Amino acid sequence: MVNDRIEELKALLPQCMLADWVRFGRRLARLLRDQHHPAQRDPLLARLKEQVCASINLREERRLSVPNISYPAALPITARKDEIVAAIRKHQVVVIAGETGSGKTTQIPKMCLEAGMGIEAKIGCTQPRRVAALSISRRIAEELNVAWSREVGCKIRFDDRSSAQTYIKLMTDGILLAETQGDPDLAEYNAIILDEAHERSLNIDFLLGHLKGLLARRKDLKLIVTSATIDTDAFSRHFDNAPIIEVSGRVYPVEVQYQPLGEASEEQGETSFVDAAVQAAERILYESNSGDVLIFMPGERDIREASAQLDGRFSGEAEIIPLFGRLSAGDQQRVFAPSARRKIVIATNIAETSLTIPGIRFVIDAGLARISRYNPRTRVRRLPIEPVSQSSANQRKGRAGRVQEGVCIRLYSEEDFNARTPFTQPEIQRTNLAEVILRMKAFYLGDIETFP
């Protein structure tokens, strides 16, 4: 009788949700090894069978309740939909290079769903920042016409808005990395999308290395690596020459105007980049009558200073919205709320990628960012303000061309732009290696010398 029940459970396990298959399988193995409590085996097996049947029912319910999928015709990636879905079905890893405005961030999770992913396990999609994960998850839920935090969920630090019914789960890359500690095989997912991989943060690099080994163990797991300005060949080589699909962007023409600080300050003496940005915003509001403004500043203090100046001049005419990492999720979501007045959003490089802030037609770029850097001589990690790379500057410019023709005012010269590095240096090359090694140990990422 007991043996029949065990064989029945073994036959039922593959029909469970993937994470439950792993979890219940381990539990069954423990029960079979336990020779000390034979009287408890029967009731424990009966309870395990109940849980297995509940998991099978959930999987069947998910299969029958897959949302209807449609794609906005205006997005360039929609024209390549069949090709991308076929590539996801055929290959374990796909690298997608999509320009700003192509629609890759919101549409690729839906294409994974169409390719058959997301039934027995979730589709996980990472974003470098909380505000992007929240806004994109809401957008996908809206496009699929389903409830946010149910069929489409989001998990950020201290806040998990996903459920057993979730097909697509947005999260920060730090959350997915933390999940590898409790579940190194990432059994909760059967597809993972690493978005904005070109940012090459430590979290992204750790995930790329961990997934390289995991894909060899889990042949059912699909990985899609996407970015706007990606070094596609390097990523393809890392994943054994994975196929590359390039998608053009739906970017309206953006006029670039160079206004170096020296030119802006001939009459008034020395002008800071905050003053220059405020003056440029003032000119835009007086010379045009529509379109919102996005100003890129290097840090929170500069944002507060610019906000105070603009509030004093335009408090009734425009809505001034700061945007930086330390703001609460609610305050960060203000940038997406409709407004009767024109908006001036003042942001750090948090608004450089992933986010599409509606209505932006003008970008004012100070060309600077706070970049974490370790000094081996003083053994101190600093956050100096540095000029951004050409790829970052182009990402910022692209924010102005998402909804209509735009204007990007750069508060530096064209010669300065041409002299900048093409790409931002990966974080792993400018951080303390002791920190890297300790984090690899903390996250159980395997042998440090052979980590890919």
DSSP string, 57-73: HHHHHHHHTPPP----T
pLDDT tens digits for 360-399? 999 999 999 999 999 888 989 899 999 999 989 998 998 8
Q: What does the pLDDT read at residue 6?
A: 83
d(CA 111, CA 33): 43
Q: For 417-434, what is the mean pLDDT?
A: 90
Q: What does the pLDDT read at residue 40?
A: 78
Q: Which residues of 71-92 are buried (b: 16+ CB within 10 A; e: fewer)?
A: beeebbbbebbeebbebbeeeb
Q: What does the pLDDT read at residue 7?
A: 87
Q: What does the pLDDT read at residue 332?
A: 85
pLDDT band at 269 (very low <50, low <70, confident <90, very high): very low
Q: What does the pLDDT read at residue 39?
A: 75
Q: Using N-to-C axis directions, what is the helix angle for 202-217 and 173-182, rounded to 10°?
A: 50
Question: How many angstroms separate the most distant Cα atoms in the chain?
Answer: 94
Percent of the chain topping pLDDT 70 = 96
Q: Among the residues of 153-229, which ranges form H helices?
A: 173-182, 202-217
β-partners of residue 256 are: 408
User: Which position has the token pair 């196929």?
Assistant: 243
Own/partner long-range contacts of 268-275 (Cβ < 8 Å, ≥24 apart): 273/297, 273/302, 273/366, 273/368, 273/411, 274/302, 274/305, 274/306, 274/309, 274/366, 275/309
Total residues found in the chain within this entry: 452
pLDDT band at 4 (very low <50, low <70, confident <90, very high): confident
pLDDT band at 270 (very low <50, low <70, confident <90, very high): low
β-partners of residue 356 are: none
Quote the mean pLDDT of the chain: 89
pLDDT tens digits for 76-113? 899 999 999 999 999 999 999 887 778 889 999 999 99
- Residue 267 pLDDT more than 70? no
Cα–chain-centroid distance for residue 438? Answer: 25
Q: What does the pLDDT read at residue 268?
A: 46
d(CA 77, CA 81): 6
CB 97 within 8 Å of CB 232: yes
End-to-end CA distance of the chain: 49
Q: What does the pLDDT read at residue 361?
A: 94
CATH 3.40.50.300 spans which residues of the chain?
76-250+435-442, 254-421
- Residue 266 pLDDT more than 60? no
pLDDT band at 312 (very low <50, low <70, confident <90, very high): confident
Q: For 118-130, what is the mean pLDDT?
A: 94
Q: Using N-to-C axis directions, what is the helix angle for 18-33 and 2-12, rounded to 10°?
A: 160
Look up residue 182 and give its two tokens: 């409790």
Report, in this order, helix, strand and coil percent for the chain, each rounded to 5.
45, 20, 35
Q: For 443-450, what is the mean pLDDT?
A: 84
Q: What does the pLDDT read at residue 33?
A: 83
pLDDT tens digits for 323-358? 998 888 788 888 888 888 999 999 998 888 777 788
Q: What does the pLDDT read at residue 250?
A: 66
d(CA 30, CA 42): 14
Cα–chain-centroid distance for residue 266? Answer: 42
pLDDT tens digits for 7-33? 888 899 999 999 999 999 999 888 888
**Range with top average pLDDT, 224-238, 259-273, 399-413:** 399-413
Task: From the options 3.40.50.150, 3.50.50.60, 1.20.950.20, 3.40.50.300, give the CATH code of 254-421.
Answer: 3.40.50.300
By mean pLDDT, which of 17-21, 151-155, 277-281, 325-329 is the weakest?
Answer: 325-329
Q: What does the pLDDT read at residue 264?
A: 44
Percent of the chain topping pLDDT 90 = 58
| pLDDT: which is higher, 132 or 227 | 132
β-partners of residue 60 are: none
Task: From the options 3.40.50.1010, 3.90.1150.10, 3.40.50.800, 3.40.50.300, give the CATH code of 76-250+435-442.
Answer: 3.40.50.300
| pLDDT: which is higher, 227 or 449 | 449
Look up residue 145 and give its two tokens: 């016409």
d(CA 427, CA 425): 6
Q: For 142-151, what is the mean pLDDT?
A: 95
